[in-house]
Amino acid sequence: MLLPIFAFQCDKDNFNKCLKGKVIRISCASYVIQVLNNDSIGDDQWRDSIDGEQKTYDNVFNISNKCKIPASYKPGDIIYFNLEKPEPNDCIVCLMYDAPPLAQFQIKNISSSSCE
């Protein structure tokens, strides 16, 4: 009975933390980030089906508000951000399905320099 309380508390903490992430993939259908400083966020053992090498990643999620991210970021870039709960996508997206991670969040306060 206490498990839901602990899970909610952990979630709440994650939404207040400054997270460091690596941009893994950008497509018209998804924007995948790997969290580098928190092992409790995102999906583990996600396989990038578009990458010819089909690498697997831990702690990845798909950004649901990718239209709010500056176009200057490219795969491999390190970014800092805060999480927000996912809401309906406010972007026009393509109809392509590229098997993004199931975990999905919005991000805010995006920066190239540490917010810690």
Q: Which residues is 31 bridged to in the sheet?
A: 26
**Pair of tokens at residue 99:** 């098997």
Query: pLDDT per residue over 34-68, tens digit each?
Result: 999 999 999 999 999 887 788 999 999 999 898 88
Query: pLDDT per residue over 9-37, tens digit each?
Result: 345 567 778 999 999 999 988 999 999 99
Q: Does 85 score more than 80 pLDDT?
A: yes
pTM of the model: 0.82
Q: What is each CA distance from 108 to 15, 82, 114, in whole angstroms?
A: 10, 5, 14
**d(C-alpha 98, C-alpha 48), whole Å:** 9
Ramachandran sector of residue 59 (left: φ over 0; alpha: ψ -120 to 50; beta: rest): left
How sure is the predictor about 4, in pLDDT bands with cuts at 50, 70 and 90? very low
Is the Cβ–Cβ distance between 83 and 61 less than 8 Å?
no
Q: Does 94 score more than 80 pLDDT?
A: no
Report pLDDT for 13: 63
Report pLDDT for 90: 63
How sure is the predictor about 116, in pLDDT bands with cuts at 50, 70 and 90? low
